[in-house]
Amino acid sequence: MAERIIHFREALREAIYEEMKKDENIFIMGEEVAEYNGAYKVSQGLLDEFGSKRVIDTPIAELGFAGIGVGAAMNGLRPIVEFMTWNFALLAIDQVVNSAAKMLAMSGGQFNCPIVFRGPSGSAGQLGAQHSQMFENWYANVPGLKVISPSNPYDAKGLLKSAIIDNDPVVFMESEVMYGDKGDVPEGEYYIPIGKADIKRHGNDVTIVSFNKMMKVALQAAEELQKEGISAEVIDLRTIRPLDFPAIVESVKRTNRLVIVEESWPFGSISSEITYQVQKNAFDYLDAPIKRVNAKDVSMAYAPTLVEAYLPSVKETIEAVKSVMYVKN
């Protein structure tokens, strides 16, 4: 398959377009997805291609249209529900957690709920405390949900296509600041299996685990560390639930050290669970305590200097790696 460079938003659009072409039961709904071509232009052109019955503008009522989506999924359709931001989706969390996630179990296996809830998660600059939150760990805490959080256009397309055809409800977390990112995406169709992490960079001295836009921090830190002779292996989780613990454990068995970079708050985070699983399954291979680099345990501020201080940084990641390597800064 020939490669080409396209934007993150274009990769998502292609995934939706290709699956909608194949299956007339797939439709997309959300605020501004139709006439405005999407708040972030992910759905650009879909209304012209598929019409207003399959590309549906909704009122500003997340709880309402998420509920409509769940009902449609129970009745044989495959909705893609776009939230303008996962911060707004807190209004719809009852439908995601109490309806979509539990439907198969509560119906004794009679009702699947093949639905994708998608939109941007996390910080995007000066947007303040109520518009800058990561919720991957919230949804990953819920049995019945699959949670995906890609870091690049190639993974975004392949994982979204897999999410759309999955028979379970999928929470698909993107990043507002990555929609304009460019990356290699093959011309042909492809799918990436849900639940498989990816080693983005091989190394021998330490394992760095991350996901979503914090992968940029992890990879940049690895580049800087290489200049100092420290070889870091960088793992992109891609899927948060199910989480590919074996991939992390096998890497730690080779490198004997682990640093986790995560934009979420530290308490009850994904990095907390990874830390538990690694000490449970690879304790004897660890040559140093596991280090985490998280967002600060406060609400996001508005001032640019405080935004910078809040988010995990390359500097903090390098310091964490040197700490587990017992190298003085």
Of the CA atoms within 13 Å of residue 2, those in its CB half-sphere come to 2
| Of the candidates 217, 134, 115, the residue with the CA atom closest to the CA atom of residue 173 | 134
Q: Is 263 one of the annotated active-site residues of the chain? A: no
- Selected catalytic residue, list 10, 31, 131, 174: 131
| Closest C-alpha to 27, from 100, 85, 81, 89 | 81
Closest CA to 40 of 69, 74, 16, 8: 8
Judge whether 240 and 148 are in contact, CB under 8 Å.
yes
Contact 192, 15 (CB under 8 A): no
Residue 62: active-site member: yes
Contacts of 214 (CB under 8 A, 6+ apart): 261, 262, 263, 312
Question: How far is it, in rounded angstroms, from Cα 216 to Cα 284?
Answer: 30
End-to-end alpha carbon distance in the chain: 45
One-letter amino acid of 222: A
- Exposed, middle or buried by CB within 10 Å (0-12, 13-18, 19+), for 199? middle
Catalytic residue among 10, 19, 31, 62: 62
Other CB atoms within a 10 A radius of the CB of residue 160 amount to 28
DSSP string, 38-63: -TTSTTTTHHHHH-TTTEEE--S-HH
- Catalytic machinery residues: 62, 131
